[in-house]
Amino acid sequence: MDKVKVGIIGTGFIGPAHIEALRRLGFVEIVALADSNEAVAKQKAEVLHVDKYYGDYMNLLADKEIDAVHICTPNHLHYRMAKEALLAGKHVVCEKPLAVNTEQANELVEIAREKQLVNAVHLTYDFIP
């Protein structure tokens, strides 16, 4: 089976936990990471043993090798990054919350449905207003 090739956006606290968990699956390869600038991304790529790094996540989204992205950035960036990732043809696994209101979340669901892509959030805030 071909490995699923993943790019990680955001490598603060939770990004490295995603990398660790994905590597344990055995069928996923972390091909690149992106952070808020090139120096940070380079340093994180060295520490986390990821070959490619980007200081601008839009360049990661343009990387044709990547099938899916994990969005591990602050909450206010999730919607924009998930939308751009889906529009770039990438499957999305996003940290919670997926978006900051239902309009944004519904829009992402629609784009994912239209493009036949995964748009996943693995922890919900159902009972937190």
Ligand X SMILES: NC(=O)c1ccc[n+]([C@@H]2O[C@H](COP(=O)([O-])OP(=O)(O)OC[C@H]3O[C@@H](n4cnc5c(N)ncnc54)[C@H](O)[C@@H]3O)[C@@H](O)[C@H]2O)c1
Instruction: Note the residues at the interface with ligand X (CB under 6 A).
Output: 9-15, 34-36, 40, 57, 72-75, 77, 95-96, 123
Long-range contacts of 46-54 (CB under 8 A, 24+ apart): 48/11, 48/16, 48/19, 50/8, 50/19
Tell the smallest beta-carbon distance from residue 29 to ligand X (Å): 20
List phi, psi (to 5°) of 89.
85, 15
| Residue nearest ligand X, Cβ-based | 12
**5 DSSP β-pair partners:** 29
Considering beta carbons, is residue 3 or 74 the nearer one to ligand X?
74
Among residues 28 and 116, whose Cβ is nearest to ligand X? 28
**Residue 124, H or E segment:** none
Q: Catalytic residue at 5? A: no
- Which residue number, 75 or 101, has a Cβ lying nearer to ligand X? 75
Give the catalytic positions in this structure.
Answer: 96
